[in-house]
Structure 1
């Protein structure tokens, strides 16, 4: 249970307001940064600028010590989202408060986003500060704690050595997936056979991370086949699987295979998105034509921004109102929230900047 927030007396109104602002800004700015890093494509430059602002406000909480807790607790009660969980978890770890850390774990367990705020706080801290907890979590009977522990290892490129063998074979699919991902990240080539076995896992996410890890280990054909299967399944990991293939595959063969993906409504958006990953700026005219097709328009817009990041903040090139792209877009997207490129505006921008001829 969360402790009740304390009431500030009249003599501490100013201090209380400063602490409240620090707490709110930590939550807001970290959540904003996390969202930017998870956009397609991510806005890394702005996210890095925000990082400094997060750190300034964390210093405010750090200096306040235990006095910051009433504000952190209150804001989580009022708005239990990822940024607020980050602030709660970060302060608990900063103060090495085991009771609060346990509370943060339970709050993370209840979250619907795989505890992004909790894992973000673990990633933000120095690995030495979280090492004792992580060592306990990766061997815990509780699968959620094992998941959090492996996720912390991923964030800091820490190899749990022999324990990683057991984690790849964990009873919990989320733990297995993260363990496979960690094996690739820390280049555990001795686990190649375990990763190959994971390609037949019942869970698609485990298969994806195993294929990704094998690609990181240079497994060639085996990894390519597994990752292509993930892309063709058009599941939540399809785009990341395609990016891995682009990074490690034969360009000509990849383009031919992507052409086949265009023949299915299910995989066509993934193929269009892949054009941006290939880095071929000469494909702009083709992408603009795809922007006029509702089914692949959002993917074409994301590919465009990846190829031309200078256009990201140009006004008028994108709209969250499908009607701006045409009546067929309104019918196709209905009430869905989407940020669509406006093809005619993109053409005008490209001509004004000399990227496209008249």
Structure 2
């Protein structure tokens, strides 16, 4: 690790007077808040008000680093050296881009290439900056021989909803599976109807992620009839994309068909949680009392709580509706979760709350 006295000053940068402990704190807090934000956005469903609060604190710390300028680099280097995780990679990449420091950006790219989190931090840094700021990098990367740079380039387009136009035709056929999957996702997000045939062909891709994003994109383009089998398979599979697939199935298929499918899922213990969670995606508030009933079953309480919050986001303001206390939740929950339950809805309290609707 770099010792404090060995950390170099940024080359060619003017000397700035800083308070070292404050700048160190800005660096550590910025990395922490971005990692927290990223994790919160993965929640089901995410609490957008909490995320907005974290964003404000993150931006305040980034402002402190902007003011420190190149003098902040020793603390950014130390943060990554001590804890090379997604938040620290975000910070490294963000500062390199902020300072238009090609050497540091190149280092961040290599760190992202070596990391095991799919370069989330670096992609997050690209998303945090304005499109005009990162445009030169994206133009260079998106057509590069290096597959990882192409992946970063198309990921930046996805994060900013930017259309690479004719380049996307080539990217959805890219030899690299990660580039291909991200490009198919982008085609759906942009609703590129000219790529429908490419998306249909990608339903037979050897790569699972590419098949999934092709199916998702077809749903966005109104061709869900072609995509539904793949989306249902991914939803039932329970992987990282299961909730996105479930939401796409609900969007793609007639309400009657979706409810019939969910009714079938409810008949098997392994699939019942998926059906309960999907109920919250239907937008039907009349399901509340049915959801309260599901909350009384330990195996279904987590998806029932998530479905409830999606249908009734205002319930987040009521702290008493959820608990982690076995004594509050009941013996069945204490046994099922081995005395360590997650944050779960308390059915009786939700029922009392519902009377006021």
Residue-by-residue CA offset, 1:236-263 (whole Å, 9 max, x unaligned) = 2121112123234322221112111212
Matched with 2:140 is 136
Deviation at 1:203, TM superposition (A): 2.9
Moved more, 67-76 or 315-324: 315-324
Residue-by-residue CA offset, 1:143-179 (whole Å, 9 max, x unaligned) = 3222222111101112222322222222332222111
Residue-by-residue CA offset, 1:20-60 (whole Å, 9 max, x unaligned) = 12212212222222222221111112222332332222122
Matched with 2:247 is 243
Moved more, 30-39 or 67-76: 30-39
Q: Is the CA contact (8 Å cut-off) linking 1:4 and 1:70 kept in structure 2?
A: no
Which residue of 45, 50, 60 maps to 1:46?
Answer: 50
Matched with 2:128 is 124
Moved more, 342-351 or 97-106: 342-351
Which residue of 149, 163, 167 maps to 1:145?
Answer: 149
Q: 1:49 to 1:241 in 2, by over 3 A?
A: same
Matched with 2:74 is 70
Which residue of 106, 112, 115 maps to 1:108?
Answer: 112
Q: Is the CA contact (8 Å cut-off) linking 1:204 and 1:230 kept in structure 2?
A: no
Moved more, 273-282 or 136-145: 136-145
Matched, 1:228 2:232: yes
Q: Is the CA contact (8 Å cut-off) linking 1:323 and 1:329 kept in structure 2?
A: no
Deviation at 1:109, TM superposition (A): 2.5
Q: Give the number of aligned pairs.
A: 349
Q: Is the CA contact (8 Å cut-off) linking 1:36 and 1:42 kept in structure 2?
A: yes
Matched, 1:37 2:41: yes
Matched with 2:13 is none
Structure 1 runs of 4+ aligned residues shifted over 4 Å read 2-8, 321-324, 334-337
1:55-94 pair list within 5 angstroms: 55-94=59-98
Matched, 1:193 2:201: no
Matched with 1:23 is 27
| SS of corresponding position for 1:277 | coil
Alpha-carbon distance in structure 1 between the residues aligned to 2:45 and 2:80? 29
Alpha-carbon distance in structure 1 between the residues aligned to 2:338 and 2:207? 32
Matched with 1:175 is 179
Alpha-carbon distance in structure 2 between the residues aligned to 1:323 and 1:173? 49
Q: Is the CA contact (8 Å cut-off) linking 1:28 and 1:83 kept in structure 2?
A: yes
Q: Is the CA contact (8 Å cut-off) linking 1:5 and 1:69 kept in structure 2?
A: no
Matched with 1:272 is 276
Unaligned runs of 5+ in 1: none
Alpha-carbon distance in structure 1 between the residues aligned to 2:160 and 2:112? 19
Q: Is the CA contact (8 Å cut-off) linking 1:26 and 1:57 kept in structure 2?
A: yes
Matched with 2:287 is 283
Residue-by-residue CA offset, 1:53-72 (whole Å, 9 max, x unaligned) = 32222122112111000111
Which residue of 213, 217, 223 maps to 1:219?
Answer: 223
Deviation at 1:214, TM superposition (A): 0.7
Matched with 2:101 is 97
Q: 1:23 to 1:335 in 2, by over 3 A?
A: farther
Alpha-carbon distance in structure 2 between the residues aligned to 1:308 and 1:29? 27
Deviation at 1:334, TM superposition (A): 4.4
Q: 1:83 to 1:282 in 2, by over 3 A?
A: same
Q: 1:335 to 1:133 in 2, by over 3 A?
A: farther
Q: 1:334 to 1:210 in 2, by over 3 A?
A: farther
Matched, 1:308 2:307: no
Deviation at 1:93, TM superposition (A): 0.6
Deviation at 1:331, TM superposition (A): 4.2
Q: Is the CA contact (8 Å cut-off) linking 1:234 and 1:267 kept in structure 2?
A: no
| SS of corresponding position for 1:312 | helix
Deviation at 1:346, TM superposition (A): 2.3
Tell me the TM-score normalized by structure 1.
0.89
| SS of corresponding position for 2:94 | helix
Q: 1:195 to 1:134 in 2, by over 3 A?
A: same
Matched with 2:10 is none
Q: 1:264 to 1:171 in 2, by over 3 A?
A: farther
Alpha-carbon distance in structure 2 between the residues aligned to 1:111 and 1:338? 30
Which residue of 330, 341, 344 maps to 1:340?
Answer: 344
Unaligned runs of 5+ in 2: 8-15
